[in-house]
Chain A
Amino acid sequence: MAKYIAKRLVYMVMMVIVLSFVMYLIYNLIPNNRAYTDARAEIQTLKQGLTEEEKETRFDEIYLEYQRRYGTDTNNMLVRYLRWIGLYPKYDGSFDGLLQGNFGYSYEARDEVINVIKAPMFNTILINIFGTVFALGIAIPLGIVCAVKRGSKTDQVVQVITIVGYSLPVFLFCILFIWVFCSILGIFPPSGMKTPGSDYTGWKYVADTMYYLALPLITMTFCSLGGMTRYTRASMIEALSMDCIKTARAKGLREKVVIYSHAFRNALIPIVTLVVGWFLSIFSGSLIIESLFGLHGMGKLMIQSLRTADFDVVILMQLFYVAISLLGNLIIDIIYGLVDPRIRVSK
């Protein structure tokens, strides 16, 4: 097992490297020369009195200096990539890349990217943990009930609702919920994370935050219900049609035991994939829900950075997502082995 995990980890690292290289190339497709912009800005602030010619030579010097500082004084993409990672020395011989803890600089926030990401990350995790717990808490029991009472009226109603649920884009639900809950009923505030200008502490702060987060949470839960319920139902139906269930029933076991002890355990494998997947997505945040409800989270930061072409932030976030998703795959594979003894990871 340990060998398997080690192998997977090595493979994962390789994957991250390949993908980060691809992303770095894409990112460099943008006609965006940071050294040039900065050099231009600096030459503007230089004292007057220089002739145009002097300015030009001075500019060339400053430009080269900036290029060396940013490590872009070569057209070799591989070298530039390795410098960005921190595996190849810059002009002055120093290593200054991701591995050395230099995650880039956000030109919009005028701060290190790592500082820019901290607060949104916290908010996103907070929101998503609640959202995921609610969604799983409703979807799994609902899916089981539907599978057990397959074909009944309840099942049919739930089927129709869930098909609507997963056929609609998330932003439509946001619009709909804002319309119903904010415009018509006026129960919840349409956007924001706290009462503007308020400075609550303690329980009052928690209550205020929950009041503002209620609608995004409801939306988030509702959006994820459709797919999850159907998924649970499908795997439960599969499990219920197995021979061992017939045997269990023939033995005279109580229906509850049959369903929860025998069938559910067999239906667990696909569900585990789902659960792990959802827990991993708590880091990425929902792009749409966050930007529509004005929540200061990862999704909103991503869209903001894309709009303002702040690509240092974007590429780091993207890299983080890739790493998380690869890690997720590994965790799912390992958990498979734990829940289902029949699945043994290949040696």
Chain B
Amino acid sequence: MSKQNKKKTSFGWLKRLFWGEGKASAQDDVLNVEEIISPGKQIVKNFFERKLAVFALCVVLGMFLFVFIGPLFMPKYYDAYTEVTQKNVPPTLDMMSVPSELKDDIKMIDSYGTFSVGLSNAGKVYVWGASKIGTTGLDVANIPEEVQNAKIAMVAAGIDHIIAIGEDGKVYGWGNARLGQYGGPAAGEENNPNIAYMPEEVMNCKVDVTNIKKLVCGYQVSAILMNDNTLYLWGNKNAYANIDKFIGNNTLTDIEFTLNYVVGVPSGGKSVYTGTRGLFGQIRPNINGEAVDIMTYLNGRSITNIIANNNNICLMLDDNSVCFAGDFKLDSVPMATLAADEYFVQIEAGTDFYTGLTNKGNVYSWGGHLLGQSDVPKKMEGVSQIYAGSFQNYAVDENGKLVDKWGLKGYIFGTDSYGADIFQRIVNGGKMTMTIGAVAVIISAVIGIIVGCLSGYFGGKVDMVLMRVMEGFSAIPFLPFALILSAVMAQMTLSENMRIFIIMCILGVLSWTGLARLVRGQVLAVRESEYVTAAQAMGIKAWKIAFKHILPNVISVILVNLTLSFATCMLTESTLSYLGFGVNYPRPTWGNMLYGANNATIIKNFWWQWLFTSMFLAATTICINIVGDTLRDVMDPKSSVDK
């Protein structure tokens, strides 16, 4: 290889990959006769000379790898995953970024939904995470002036509000107040039966800070529990069915909120109080253990502490053991078995997991694991306090310095209205969209090629009949007919897989006419050529001539057509799914992920729910079309002349 020919273009490696060293790097010799290039090679060469087309090809291939191989490297994914506290989260990766001023001076951290609130030893409040609340336009990161100026003693976060108690005992609240999360009733709302308003004592009189045992917030509700068991409880009654049983109940020594119930421990700690018979009455020693009746299990022991996540509760008993009640997801990670002399001194709960700190300073997390919330870092030393909430964990040493944190950083593309990660749904939805497109194209190709070949080669009556059938199919308006068929299917009882397969068939069966016409035209032209006459003269069977001799000569045209109709099928599937007549939720496709984006409010406020999916869909179809177009151009000898 001579030196001057080592010049490399940006895509040189790709060129060499596809047809070897080629002319460019061959011996540079004046006497060399110009190499004869076969048409196939010429086409590939011309194709790779077009930078845009090569780029598009790379994008398409990348997209294929991304959706088919990508899921293997990602956390386990469930179609029907929903998380009510993580709905409509905008793209962010800051859900675990503790502000640097707070890092060395942490007094407490709490979170329930998409944002976290922290308090420094100096009494200053910090908020981080996705702090904008839905379509309300509120932002809990806008901490009110009076809170910034006051010295705060305690904070707690709910799904869309924050409650803080000042050193002087004044209770502050900010965020969404529409459902009584804090503050008194709005004018004309005094008698709303669905809201328990903040008690007078909390609003006006100052609470004695030194006597507060616990401040806890749930989904739009908050509670303050005093050392003398006085309970102040307020918020949205609709969110908690049993809240009425707790208001004015001053016998509880501990209180917690799951997603739907308030849970308390009556003094004495011999049972769990929910005000609802049978709820949390079955106890198990570990989350995958056998359930036993609570009386039998306690057997004289008493409950000292209660910790609740969204679906279940964890009880700490006076003999330092831990047990659980409630429902657990099937794939939950069980609690680690501790050494004989090791026991939990502190347990904190997130949305679906628990994190515990033992007397030896070890930290364990168990429960849900899909978002990394229970991946405890290996090396942590000097942990004296842990904070957990939502999907984040923070380990803090005795000086209030952050040792480590683990859990959910955020969502790169945000979440949808069910609380599922859009990025994961894009990857898995792409697989479905592309599979449907590919299968539909294959079906249409098989029908189109067979019909086209037969019709073109045999002509006469066969041609007449097939052409009439073809016209019939092409007279059917595509989208309305596909809609009708899937609406008809929706009325029948079919499994989802069957439905999807039928959708593929519908797309395929309705879109073969263009290809058949093309193949017919090509075959008609080729039929008269000499080699076909020769083949006929040799007595080769007609169908063999049609499919073995003629078809290979028109295959390039077919390929181009297939590329373009692959994009079209993807688009049609998306359109059907977008209209709600294709693949249904929870199974994701790029079309039905956009289903929610059909009114101006969502389009504006939750832009991430459609923008990213659209970008993936658009990039794929545009690039496929560019590749197809370029292929057609380079295959057409006429058009490449004056390029």
Contact = CB atoms under 8 A, between A and B. Distances in A.
A183 B618 contact: no
Interface in B585-606: 591, 594, 597-600, 603-604
Given A30-B488, A178-B603, A306-B581, A288 B575 contact: yes
A169 interface: yes
A19 B599 contact: no
5 contacts: A19-B475, A163-B629, A284-B480, A318-B477, A321-B477
Interface string B470-507: 01101111011101110110011000000000000000
B621 interface: yes
Contacts of B643: 151
A95 B90 CA distance: 62
Contacts of B614: 172, 175-176
A97 B139 CA distance: 63
Interface stretch (A51-59, A107-115, A262-270, A322-330): A322-330
B492 A175 contact: no
A220 B472 CA distance: 28
Interface string A156-175: 00000001101111111001
A183 B604 contact: yes
Contacts of A306: 483-484, 487, 581
Contacts of A29: 488, 492
Interface of B: 468, 471-472, 474-477, 479-481, 483-485, 487-488, 491-492, 567, 571, 574-575, 578-581, 591, 594, 597-600, 603-604, 607, 610, 614, 617-618, 621-622, 624-626, 629, 638-639, 642-643
Contacts of A322: 475-477
B503 to A, nearest CB: 15
A26 B488 contact: yes
A139 B360 CA distance: 76
* Interface of B, helix, strand, loop or mixed by DSSP: helix
A175 B610 contact: yes
A179 B604 CA distance: 6
A168 B618 contact: yes
Contacts of B492: 29-31
A32 B618 CA distance: 39
Contacts of B485: 26
A30 B491 contact: yes
Contact of A15 (B475, B488, B578, B581): B475
Contacts of B472: 15, 18-19
Interface string A43-84: 000000000000000000000000000000000000000000
A172 B622 CA distance: 13
A332 B380 CA distance: 78
A150 B638 CA distance: 14
Contacts of B622: 163-164, 167-168
Contact of A179 (B578, B607, B638): B607
B594 A171 contact: yes
Contacts of B580: 307
A225 interface: no
A163 B626 contact: yes
A171 B618 contact: no
Contacts of A170: 575
A201 interface: no
A53 B468 CA distance: 55
Interface in A136-195: 150-151, 163-164, 166-172, 175-176, 178-179, 182-184, 190-191
A166 B480 contact: no
Given A19-B475, A164-B622, A309 B491 contact: yes
B479 A169 contact: no
A314 interface: yes
A317 B483 CA distance: 13
Nearest to B578: A171
Interface string A24-40: 00110111100000000
A326 B484 contact: no
B599 A190 contact: yes
Contact of B625 (A26, A163, A183): A163
Contact of B574 (A169, A179, A309, A318): A169
Q: Contact size class for A?
A: 35 or more
A198 B481 CA distance: 37
Given A172-B618, A287-B579, A303-B579, A309 B597 contact: no
A302 interface: yes
A312 B472 CA distance: 22
Interface string A288-315: 1001100000000011001101000010
B603 A179 contact: yes
Nearest to A14: B468
Contacts of B476: 19, 322, 325
Contacts of B567: 167
Residue in A30, A166, A172, A179 whose Cβ sees the most chain B Cβ within 10 Å: A172
Interface in A97-147: none
Residue in A150, A151, A168, A291 whose Cβ sees the most chain B Cβ within 10 Å: A168
A18 B476 CA distance: 12
Contacts of B474: 325
A179 B603 CA distance: 6
A329 B479 contact: no
B574 A178 contact: no
A241 interface: yes
A27 B489 CA distance: 10
A292 B575 CA distance: 12
Contacts of A32: 491
A284 B480 CA distance: 9
A302 B483 contact: yes
Contacts of A314: 484, 487
Given A18-B472, A26-B484, A164-B622, 18 more contacts: A19-B476, A23-B484, A30-B492, A167-B621, A167-B622, A168-B571, A171-B574, A172-B594, A175-B594, A182-B600, A182-B604, A183-B600, A190-B599, A302-B480, A307-B487, A309-B487, A318-B484, A326-B475
A40 B474 CA distance: 41
Contacts of A30: 488, 491-492
A85 to B, nearest CB: 18
Contact of A284 (B477, B488, B624, B639): B477
Nearest to B624: A167
Nearest to A179: B603
Contact of A175 (B571, B597, B625, B629): B597
A288 B579 contact: yes
A284 B475 CA distance: 13
Contacts of B579: 171, 287-288, 291, 303
Contacts of A167: 567, 571, 618, 621-622, 624-625
Given A287-B483, A306-B483, A306-B487, A169 B607 contact: no
Interface string A251-265: 000000000000000
B618 A287 contact: no
A190 B600 contact: yes
Residue in A191, A303, A306, A317 whose Cβ sees the most chain B Cβ within 10 Å: A306
